[in-house]
Amino acid sequence: MTLPRASARLPSKALPTAAILQAHGDCFILLTEVSSWTQSGSAITTTTTLTISTFTVTQTGNVRLEIRKLSGGTNRINIDDITVNDNGGGGTGGGTVLTGKKFLFDASHLENAGSADWQIDADGTEQVAIYTGGTTTETKAQRVPTPSYTGITSSTTETYWKGALSAWAVELVKRGELVESLPVGTAITYGGGGAQDLSNYDVFVVCEPNRLFTAAEKTALMNFVANGGGLFMIADHTAATTAGTDANGYNPSDRDGDGYDSPRVWNDLMTNNGINNNNPFGFFVNYVDINESPSTNVYTGSNADAQKVLNGAAGTASKMAFYDGSTATLFPANNSTVQGLFWRNSATNGGNANAMALLATYGSGRVVWIGDSSDADDGTGDTGDNLFNGWSGDAPSGYTSHSSFHLNASFWLAKAQ
Ligand SMILES: [Ca+2]
Ligand SMILES: [Ca+2]
Ligand SMILES: [Ca+2]
Ligand SMILES: [Ca+2]
């Protein structure tokens, strides 16, 4: 962005936090002025990689911000973006979220195969393998959703974009975040310098991947999270093997028939990534198919991260239904930060068995996992698919709180709340 001047006046309500994304230079500090200039936070030494620095400012009233370069002579500091928010907190319901976070939704691992349509917008079509043999015509996501996000207002409906995840993406835009898709044929990279390298995003959302990540992609994903990225991991139902039917008479969710469905794709990432193969996020996905209508077995403890996901700016997440989903087993010994958020109604609250959703931190990054893709399904998208509104459409009203869960989790993963 371009700053009009070296400093900018903020509205009188401000008790701001200022997030500054910068790269390629030397040392700088953020100062604030009410009556005299005061440094906020620590001096930042920039690197050649765009990096977010967040400053908590404890000033009230009108505040001016100044970025003061301390070293490096005439070398340039590249400032890509500055976001200023009220410092309203927000761990226990309500509160504000930092805007300008960048969300990338994966569309490169057959998230559109069969009756799935886990995309935020899809303008094109392609032939995709189907488990019964041959191919079907599926809608195909492109990088930038159309029409432009700039046309979204508070009253824009989710059909502004075409995909079963469009409601999620539109809601993020309404709250000032940015969204893109990673199209099929584009590899997942981190530190590779490409336009869609994960280093350009805050959160990577992967809803029901149906193909294994390559070895290089697994390295990229682990390093992205370790270095501060957010990974939203969504799985679906499965069975002990992907051949035949599961306990409920359904085919496992290997929609393209290559032998791998999303539980197996996630477990492959967590046990075969070459960096830490011992379930480094502290959980493993079980090969099951369960239904809950809905679970109210929600975490009630004081874990601050869990509170932000369950009771954040997008409201309270207290009910989670599964429409053929999988569960996870927690391994706190592998990662002590793993925290169950919902369990099956029949499971022990706070236990390690039969978790339906969870969070963990890893390095300086964060992960959230949920065992059913249906909860993010807004019910509209590819007209050739059987889509059901699990996002907000269950009757009676208030039956579930899936949009609150997904949005709060998004904000937490982005460190926006
Ligand atoms: Ca489809
Ligand atoms: Ca598959
Ligand atoms: Ca499902
Ligand atoms: Ca939709």
Q: Which ligand has the minimum distance to the alpha carbon of residue 128?
A: 1
Closest ligand, as measured to the CA of 163: 4
Distance of CA 30 from the midpoint of ligand 4 (Å): 42
pLDDT (average), residues 133-160 = 97
Confidence class for position 43, pLDDT limits 50, 70, 90 = confident
The residue length of the chain stands at: 417
The pLDDT value given to residue 263: 98
Q: Decide if pLDDT at 247 tops 90.
A: no
Beta bridge partners of 355: 328, 343
Q: What is the pLDDT of residue 92?
A: 38
Provide the mean pLDDT of the chain: 87
Contact 333, 341 (CB under 8 A): no
Tell whether the model's pLDDT for residue 399 goes beyond 90. Answer: no
Closest ligand to 107 CA?
1
> Residue 147 has which token pair?
């029409």
Q: What is the mean pLDDT of residues 172-195?
A: 97
Tell me how far the alpha carbon of residue 24 lies from the centroid of ligand 1, in angstroms: 42
How far apart are the CA of 208 and the centre of ligand 4, in A?
16
Q: 280 vs 36, which has greater pLDDT? A: 280
Residue 98 CA, ligand 4 centroid: distance in Å = 25
Centroid of ligand 3 to alpha carbon of 51 (angstroms)? 37
- Residue 21, pLDDT > 60, answer no
Ligand nearest to the CA of residue 160, numbered in listed order: 4
Pairing assessment for the beta strands 37-45 and 27-33 based on DSSP bridges: antiparallel
User: Which residues are 140's β-sheet partners?
Assistant: 124
**Helix boundaries (H) for 206-344:** 215-226, 262-271, 304-310
Residue 39 confidence (pLDDT): 80
Whether pLDDT at 369 is above 90: yes
Among the bound ligands, name the one nearest to the CA of residue 377: 4
pTM over 0.85: no
Predicted pLDDT of residue 155:
96
Q: Where are the beta strands (DSSP E) in 87-173?
A: 102-106, 122-129, 135-141
- Residue 24 phi, psi (nearest 5): 60, 65
Reported as a single tens digit per residue, the pLDDT across 318-336 is 999 999 999 999 999 999 9
Record the tokens describing residue 235, joined without a space. Answer: 């799985």
Q: How far is the CA of 183 from the centre of ligand 1 (A)?
A: 15
User: Which ligand minimizes its atom distance to the CA of 242?
Assistant: 2
Ligand nearest to the CA of 112: 1
Percentage of residues in the chain having pLDDT higher than 90: 71
**Which pLDDT does position 17 carry in this prediction?**
43
118 alpha carbon – ligand 3 mean position (Å): 12
pLDDT at 208 over 70: yes
Residue 61 has pLDDT above 60, yes or no: no
Question: Looking at residue 29, what is its pLDDT?
Answer: 67
Q: Give the pLDDT of residue 26.
A: 61
Nearest in space to 272 (alpha carbons), one of 333, 222, 320: 222
Q: Name the DSSP class of 238.
A: -
> Which ligand is nearest the CA of 127, by number?
1
Mean pLDDT, rounded, for 4-28: 41
Centroid of ligand 4 to alpha carbon of 276 (angstroms): 36
Please report which confidence band the pLDDT of residue 217 belongs to, taking 50, 70 and 90 as the band edges. very high
Residue 390 Cα to ligand 4 midpoint, Å, equals: 11
pLDDT over 70 percentage in the chain: 83
* Ligand that lies nearest to the alpha carbon of residue 375, given by its number in the listed order: 3
Residue 211, pLDDT > 80, answer yes
CA–centroid distance, 171 to ligand 2, in Å, is 29
Q: What is the pLDDT of residues 267-305, one digit of tens each?
A: 999 999 999 999 999 999 999 999 999 999 999 999 999
